[in-house]
Amino acid sequence: MSGKMTLCIPRGFWTAAVMMILVVLSI
């Protein structure tokens, strides 16, 4: 992903994405 696209994504989205990844890995 380009830097501009990353900046356009809200931090809340990254937080939710990380939480989902942790849940998937914990299964």
What is the 8-class DSSP label of residue 11?
H
- H/E stretch holding 3 reads helix 3-8
pLDDT score, position 25: 94
Task: Report d(CA 5, CA 25) in Å as an integer.
Answer: 26
Task: Report d(CA 27, CA 14) in Å as an integer.
Answer: 20
pLDDT tens, per residue, the chain with 27 residues? 566 666 666 778 888 889 999 999 998
pTM of the model: 0.49
pLDDT score, position 21: 94
